[in-house]
Amino acid sequence: MVCRLRLSTYMRLSTVTPAFRRLGRQTFSKANVFHSDRSTTVRGRVPLSIWEKVTAQLHNQSLHPLNILRREIEAHFEKTYPSLFELHSSLSPIVTTEQCFDHLLIPPSHTSRSPTDTYYIDKHTLLRPHMTVHDVPLLRGGSEAFLLCGDVYRRDSVDRTHYPVFHQIDAARLFPCGTSQEYIVDDLKSSLSGLAHHLFGPETRMRWVEGSFPFTSPSFELEIFWRDEWLEVLGCGLIRRGVLQNGNVSNDVNGWAFGLGLERLAMVLFEIPDIRLFWSRDTRFLDQFKDGDFQRKFKPFSAYPSIEKDISFWIGEESTFHENDFHEIVRSLSEDLVESVSMVDRYKRAERTSLCFRIIYRSMERSLTHVEINELHDSLREFVAETLPVTLR
Ligand code: DAH
């Protein structure tokens, strides 16, 4: 029974609950047409575990650490530039490929367009992988300065710092005609280093490094020195002319844009050790945060023991296997009981390659039993064998 329930994770979107269906409306019927060959049964579908996250809006839940941080950043901008930035935090995450890629000059071959990296609902519609998707529509609507916060979706590996849904703040600001590029770059850098000092303290060491984003030029990344290492905290730059043109901005107007990941900042600021905790409803987690207090450190309530299991399989030479598909299945079937997945062995024999992945099962909230993990791991093996182009060993 448990097993059958879990195997329905990838059920067709037509069986998604009415609340989720309302979210996508016109797109859902198209989404029912999935490819049926083995290699694409996982790719090209949005699992239920992801749809369930679409309505969560953690960044809008008061007292949630992501909301506390979001509001601190918004308040900082409001204080520095009174009444300048429009704030948006409820823009729909269901966007078009045109908006997501073409508007932003992302080339046709860019990896973010691949269904191994992005959650497509149908050929032209997807769950936004970054908040920058809203820049061009807002510019077209006449906005000149805005700060956006929302949930973004990416297929990725499973570990303590990656989760398929996370949150970003993205911003853009246009300047009056004729403002020099040097002035705009200075304004961008001083706004962002001001924000970093506000959040991490005036003593924090930081540095600018060259960045590369299709929609900005020049582009920069800000890194802060935290616990003995340089940590990238945001990307930014001058908005490319082509993007401004897509937004119907006149040719003598320039502007900057930046984007940052809220979880990464929150994990550092609040000392939250595992990204899955943001999704926890455990009051031992949620009750530790207070409005307006972004300096509070999280006190882990317990470290529950882990259970490790390996899974090995063969893939053929021409295989369409992609590691992200495997991570996606593990994440979806295990409902947050997996802390990490890592490849521990890979070797080639004749025309085939053997891969071995180690899965660390650990709940954030309770001790796991060997019986339940054996059952879960068996369902995982079964599901992998059925849906991926692999042969279990
Ligand atoms: N969208 C980028 C990402 O998700 C981050 C980013 C970089 C946003 C530069 C921006 C920008 O607005 O100007 O990785």
Q: Kindly report the protein residue whose alpha carbon is nearest to atom 8 of ligand 1.
A: 259
What does the pLDDT read at residue 84? 97
What does the pLDDT read at residue 318? 87
What does the pLDDT read at residue 307? 98
- 276 CA distance to ligand 1 centroid (A)? 23
| Residues 6 or more apart whose Cβ sits within 8 Å of residue 285 | 277, 298, 301, 364
What does the pLDDT read at residue 42? 62
**Calpha distance 32→28 (Å, rounded):** 7
What does the pLDDT read at residue 301? 83
What does the pLDDT read at residue 260? 98
* pLDDT tens-digit series, residues 303-335: 899 999 999 999 998 889 999 999 999 998 998
- 218 CA distance to ligand 1 centroid (A)? 13
Residue 311 Cα distances to 319, 330, 351, 380, 390, angstroms: 18, 11, 20, 9, 12
**Calpha distance 323→42 (Å, rounded):** 12
What does the pLDDT read at residue 102? 97
Which numbered atom of ligand 1 lies nearest the CA of 152? 4
Which residue positions in the chain have pLDDT lower than 50? Answer: 1-41
Parallel/antiparallel/unpaired status of strands 307-316 and 391-392: antiparallel
Q: What is the pTM of this model?
A: 0.86
- 324 CA distance to ligand 1 centroid (A)? 22
Ligand 1 pocket list (CB less than 6 A): 130, 132, 170, 213, 216, 235-237, 257-259
Q: Kindly report the protein residue whose alpha carbon is nearest to atom 2 of ligand 1.
A: 259
Question: What is the number of other CB atoms lying within 10 angstroms of the CB of residue 86?
Answer: 14
- 308 CA distance to ligand 1 centroid (A)? 36
